[in-house]
Amino acid sequence: MERSWASSRDLLVALEAGGGRRAALERAVRDAIHGGRLSAGERLPSTRALASDLGLARGTVAEAYAQLAAEGYLSTSPGAPTRVAAGLRPAERDGAAPDPLPSPDRPRFDLRVGLPDVGAFPRPAWGRALRRALSEAPDQALAGGDPRGRLELRRALAAYLGRTRGVLADPEQIVVTSGFTQGLLSLCLALRGASARSLAMEDPCLWHHREIAAGTGLRVAPLPVDEEGALPVPPAGVGAAVVTPAHQFPLGATLAAARRSALVAWARANRTVVVEDDYDGEFRYDRQPVGALQGLDPEHVVYAGTASKTLAPALRLGWLVLPRRLVETVAEAKQLVGGTPTLEQWALAELIGSGGFDRHVRRMRQRYRGRRDLLLELLAERAPGLRTRGVAAGLHLVLELPPRGAREDELLERAAARSLGLLGLGPFWHEPRPDRQGLVLGYASSPEHNYRQTLATLGDVLDA
């Protein structure tokens, strides 16, 4: 039988019953120090607080502290809190040093796709929006509520998406999610519940999205992509199709007008939906804005958007604009996979309503265009003759590799040796395509201060 106590610093120590109580407490503290759960300098509860937690006499705790101090485990002084003595280290396990915590691979230079420049996050504007959310949100808002998300954000999104992306949305048709990943998972679960067995996804596409769909039991069928975007006739029998019409990911094509109409007609004829992943639709440079596919038929297209590329992935905010018949089932599926932070929803609604979101997008559009131009200049100088794709919009482009010359894996190895983060085209294909090799170059994630040096490093990799 054991008795446990928790300090004010949320430290748990097991106190074995039986034997001397003071000795048991001393052993428990020693074990916590040796096991690394109490680190050097860690403050311990007062003798009064610990005695109350454990049901011990205060004198028993004081004597245990005094004994541990005499042994060098604790540091005590009059009027000061009791702390673990400085210089103590956890005991090694099996003669080996403790395993270090895993850390992500952080290259010095980064051209990996998928992230915006988080250093440009509009901290002052977001701080003001969050403070206003804290002051105006009713107490009940902190308890959760509608699984579709806060009505304030759904209203703000309906107005913003209609104005900037041509989305036809009623706030009642919007479900706020924790990013696109949760939205796709919720959709796949809802499709499975409606007896769907397969899902078409572009080939190439982000492999993580294929894994999400497959994890719900759906068979993923490839939907080929060419210069005009995804082919508009998915394989027979699929329950839905996921596409990136504004800027195909990763090849960068814009879905041709005839294919947009044909894809919607396919969904209508098969009584199913097309899922439109509009992951970076706000960023375009050398072309006119392309409206959302959803505007052609709101009852057969699911529009999916996210703040991950416009603001920051850590906000975990995304949204689905759904056909009315799917709202309830998707909201129920979303409840199974988790909620979405409430205060952040209020803050985003405030940022959109104040115009701060539009101002940030316009500012970043100019910054990313400048970065893209520098990258194209570098490629023209250091990789003349190699074709680039998807340069008119978005946060990345693809550099195609010729059949003869350095292979994708060779270039990635050279980049890694120079601490340059790169992604090859290979993982995006459903099946290996040795005949279609390339580099997917994201120009958004690198910090502004070392972007030019990052490009110079890429040039060295290409020269080698």
In the chain, the amino acid numbered 27 is: R
Of the candidates 39, 53, 19, 1, which has an alpha carbon nearest to the alpha carbon of residue 29? Answer: 39
How confident is the prediction along the chain (464 residues), in pLDDT tens digits per residue? 444 444 454 446 566 655 678 888 888 888 888 878 888 888 888 888 888 888 888 888 888 888 888 778 898 877 788 999 887 666 544 443 333 333 455 789 999 998 899 999 999 999 999 999 888 888 877 777 789 999 999 999 999 999 999 999 999 999 999 999 999 999 999 999 888 999 999 999 999 999 999 999 999 999 999 999 999 999 999 999 999 999 999 999 999 999 999 999 999 999 999 999 999 989 999 878 889 999 999 999 999 999 999 999 999 999 999 999 999 999 999 998 888 888 899 999 999 999 999 999 999 999 999 999 999 999 999 999 899 999 999 999 999 999 887 799 999 999 999 999 999 999 999 999 999 999 999 999 999 999 999 999 999 999 86
Residues 6 or more apart in contact with residue 392 via CB below 8 angstroms? 252, 254, 284, 285, 286, 287
What is the residue extent of each domain of the chain?
2-84, 121-358, 359-463
At 298 the pLDDT is 97
Q: Tell me whether the omega of the peptide bond preceding residue 116 falls within 30 degrees of 0, making it cis.
A: no
- List the Cα angle 287/291/297 in 5-degree steps: 155
At 54 the pLDDT is 83
User: What is the rounded CA–CA span in Å between residue 317 and residue 462?
Assistant: 37
At 392 the pLDDT is 94
Is 1.10.10.10 the CATH classification of the domain at 2-84? yes
**In CATH, what number does 121-358 get?**
3.40.640.10
At 416 the pLDDT is 94
At 2 the pLDDT is 43
User: What is the rounded CA–CA span in Å between residue 88 and residue 73?
Assistant: 8
At 13 the pLDDT is 59
359-463 homologous superfamily:
Aspartate Aminotransferase, domain 1 (3.90.1150.10)
- pTM score > 0.85 for this model? no
At 14 the pLDDT is 62
What distances in angstroms separate CA 167 from CA 305, 348, 432, one per listed residue? 11, 18, 36
